[in-house]
């Protein structure tokens, strides 16, 4: 779980920075506290399933990328047919 948390944290931090967004702006858009987003980026907490789905839709990062640190090399992830969370 620790590897998944670190991976998740890195992905959302890189995504936010690539968009040059402030933590407060992203948190407000998602309806979470600024401290909540901060905890996610600092790998202190993992989001709830509902928030994970919301994050996937918002960032357009597939959920399996958040959950599997080795998703690019994972035999399960490469074969799996995950529903795309970024569709409405």
Specify the 3-state DSSP secondary structure of 80.
coil
- 60 phi, psi to nearest 5 deg: 65, 25
Give the pLDDT of residue 85. Answer: 45
Q: What is the mean pLDDT of residues 66-87?
A: 60
Alpha-carbon distance 12 to 18, whole Å?
10
Alpha-carbon distance 31 to 57, whole Å?
14
Alpha-carbon distance 66 to 60, whole Å?
11
Give the pLDDT of residue 77. Answer: 62
Q: What is the mean pLDDT of residues 54-74?
A: 82
Give the pLDDT of residue 26. Answer: 97
Q: Which of 66, 39, 42, 38 is nearest to 52 (CA)?
A: 66
Question: Does the pLDDT of residue 78 top 70, yes or no?
Answer: no
Give the pLDDT of residue 24. Answer: 96
């Amino acid at each position: 779980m620790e590897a998944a948390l670190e991976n998740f944290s890195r992905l959302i931090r890189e995504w936010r920075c690539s968009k040059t967004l402030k933590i407060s702006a992203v948190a407000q858009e998602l309806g979470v506290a600024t401290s909540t987003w901060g905890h996610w980026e600092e790998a202190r907490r993992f989001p709830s399933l509902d928030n994970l789905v919301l994050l996937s839709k918002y960032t357009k990062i597939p959920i399996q990328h958040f959950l599997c640190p080795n998703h690019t090399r994972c035999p399960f992830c490469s074969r799996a047919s995950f529903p795309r969370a970024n569709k409405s």
